[in-house]
Amino acid sequence: MWEFSVALYMINIWPESLLYAAIYGASDSASIAVFGPIIGRWVDKLSCLKVLQLWLVTQNLSFVIAGASVVTLLIHSSLKFTHFSIFMLLMLLINVCGGIGVLSTLAGTIMIEREWLLVISEGQPQEFLTRMNSVTRRIDLCCKLLAPVVTGFIVSFVSLKASAITLALWNTVSVWVEYWLFTSVYHGIPALDQSSQRRMARLLQCDQEMNTLTSEEDSLLPVTGCSSELADRKWNKKISEKISEIPYIAAWRVYLQQEVALPGLALASLFFTVLSFGTLMTATLEWKGIPTYVIGLGRGISAVIGIAATVAYPVLQSRISTIRTGLWSIWSQWTCLLPCIASIWIQSGFLSSYILMGSVAISRLGLWMFDLSVLQHMQDLVTESDRLIVGGVQNSLQSLMELLVYVMGIIISDPRDFWKLAVISFEAVTLAAFLFCIHAYHRLGRAHDPSFGLILVQN
């Protein structure tokens, strides 16, 4: 609900500019881009119950505070003229709380998608994991379907203030329901607790081995005339090791060693886009005069098509494999976005806006199928010890791309220039398609799969 509403709040607080919407988006994306790898390692070091508690409490409390700040700004709309310092303080609070909220959400997402689903599907056929991924994404998209529609109607038929109050109340109540549901799943499936205990034991063993190795190295240092030189070498080696063990650097090193790094980069490239019902596009549509409930319905239709993708993905994946499904889906997304580029030259503002919304909505079919393809590809190829860390870095990389989009939004903040951002976004989708083709070529290989060339031509 907050993800959709925040763009409406920002364009209302400061009309005629995408600047504040872009700054908020950049703040959120920067939070995950910088701290995402650390969050992945942090989740890896804590028990599942501790992650659940910190995730849900921090997430909902952050959005309650952000919602209260928005209500204050909407009620006292003249603050930016009369008390600019208070206005900036509230804006800072909204951005900080939003950043904390998305980091908390990231922790939960990594734990569910990168560990729980795999643990639950252990010992089951491959199709079981495919269905689990699809159902999980379907639940997520159903929420993305309902929240914008409800928010859009509240804004259109009650007020923007009412939607902010509803948001704060909803997060206050929902935290208890969420915690009860997740703990019920955790206690109902013993394998989840066993996996958490194995992870804790593995980390404890690694720490003990590192301490033992350090002690042995110290005891082997000879007491001779050359001991000073050896000590210097040992000191330099220790500094190098300490740098490589910094959580952020260590996480990226683990990620780049994975075979799935290239498809991960392809998926991340799709986040370098304004061609989604995100902050910048929503704010632009609002500026063009498209009714809020229509934007909400458009986002809802987009989510329905995404839900259809979660139904179609298991069927297609079972017939043509995960990689081929990824190829088909990324090129279908590229094709569906072509009308977005064509709408740039349409003079009628309303017609071009509706073409934009329709094209973006239809492209979600390819987007979410590609997302599921890459997710399952990572689940299949990444080892158990690296899953959570790779998940954190992947989300960090995706947010880095989002951050670059918002930086572009800050530079190109005039809604009349939105078309420039749309063209850049389309080029990013094209890059993603070619990156995944390169990975598929190396993974399948022409020699081992003569049909690969035909698949590329067909897609």
Residue 428 scores a pLDDT above 90: yes
Query: Smallest Cα–Cα separation from 385: which of 16, 44, 136?
Result: 44
CA distances from 114 to 117, 130, 140, 381 (A): 7, 13, 16, 12
- Residue corresponding to tokens 């600019």: 84
| Burial of residue 384, with CB atoms counted within 10 A of its CB: 0-12 exposed, 13-18 middle, 19 or more buried | middle
pLDDT-based confidence at residue 286 (cuts at 50, 70, 90): confident
Q: pLDDT at position 213, please?
A: 56
Q: pLDDT at position 202, please?
A: 78
Over residues 361-369, the mean pLDDT reads 94
Residue 246 scores a pLDDT above 80: no
Residue 17 scores a pLDDT above 80: no
- Residue corresponding to tokens 């918002």: 406
| 402-437 b/e (C-beta count within 10 Å ≥ 16 → b) | bbbbbbbbbebbebeebbebbebbbebbeebbebbb
Over residues 394-423, the mean pLDDT reads 87
Name the DSSP class of 223: -
How would DSSP label each residue in 412-439?
S--GGGHHHHHHHHHHHHHHHHHHHHHH
Whether the CB-CB separation of 200 and 63 falls below 8 Å is answered with no
- % of the chain beyond a pLDDT of 90: 20
Centroid of chain to Cα 154: 27
pLDDT-based confidence at residue 231 (cuts at 50, 70, 90): low
Over residues 78-83, the mean pLDDT reads 82
pLDDT-based confidence at residue 222 (cuts at 50, 70, 90): low
Residue 362 scores a pLDDT above 90: yes
Mean residue pLDDT across the chain: 82
pLDDT-based confidence at residue 121 (cuts at 50, 70, 90): confident
Domains of the chain, each with CATH number or no CATH: 2-213+247-458 (1.20.1250.20)
Residue 218 scores a pLDDT above 60: no
pLDDT-based confidence at residue 208 (cuts at 50, 70, 90): low
User: Residue 321, SS3?
Assistant: coil
422 CB contacts (<8 Å, ≥6 apart)?
274, 275, 340, 341, 344, 356
User: Residue 288, SS3?
Assistant: coil
Name the DSSP class of 25: H
Over residues 139-166, the mean pLDDT reads 81
Q: pLDDT at position 454, please?
A: 44
CB atoms under 10 Å from CB of 333, counted, come to 23
Q: pLDDT at position 323, please?
A: 92
Over residues 322-343, the mean pLDDT reads 93
Q: pLDDT at position 243, please?
A: 52
Tell me the chain's radius of gyration from C-alpha atoms: 24
Per residue in 250-285, pLDDT tens? 888 888 888 899 999 999 999 999 998 877 888 888
Report how far apart the first and last C-alpha atoms of the chain are (Å, whole number). 35
**Lowest-confidence pick of 6-10, 174-178, 215-219:** 215-219
